[in-house]
Amino acid sequence: MLPDFAEPCKKIGLRLNLTKTKFMKNGMVSYDPFKLNGTSISECSTYVYLVRKINMKNDLASELSRNKRAASGAFKSTDDVVNRTRNTGLRAHLFDSTVISTVRYAPGNWSLRTQDGKSLSVIEGAVEMTMLGVPASQK
């Protein structure tokens, strides 16, 4: 497939950077080394594409963990303002504009398992309660 792609690219003046080109294979591909124009193309097990970490198993655990860390970072960036104000409307706006957009940015395109969806909901709920100033005893 890659050689078929390389030829039309050449015709319009594009070149593949073979030192950066990698491939991912599933169980249907033989273990023979993959070469293009005499250069070995290295294999990878995961890569990040459009903000999502892709792997052949479609395992989202590492990606969900990454999203949790991003949401935590977004929450921490608003921490000073949240602590200084009691305005619930402002807190809700900060939550919607920072945390929710961070947590839901990539998962909007994913086909999530039920447990993964619940995990994201728990994160959203916990951060929302904290931003709205709900004491831990009432959560």
Q: What residues does each domain of the chain span?
A: 2-44, 57-138
Instruction: Say if residue 109 is exposed, middle or buried (CB neighbours under 10 Å; 0-12, 13-18, 19+).
Output: exposed
Q: How many residues comprise the chain?
A: 139
Strands 34-36 and 46-49, by their bridges, are: unpaired
Instruction: Please give the single-letter amino acid code of residue 59.
Output: D
Is the pTM here over 0.85, yes or no?
A: no
What is the percentage of the chain residues whose pLDDT exceeds 70?
A: 75
pLDDT of residue 19: 81
For residues 10 and 18, what is the distance between their CA atoms, to the nearest angstrom? 13
Q: Are 126 and 103 in contact (CB under 8 A)?
A: no
Q: What is the radius of gyration, based on Cα positions, of the chain? A: 22
78-133: per-residue pLDDT in tens? Answer: 778 777 888 878 877 877 777 777 766 655 555 566 766 677 677 777 777 776 77
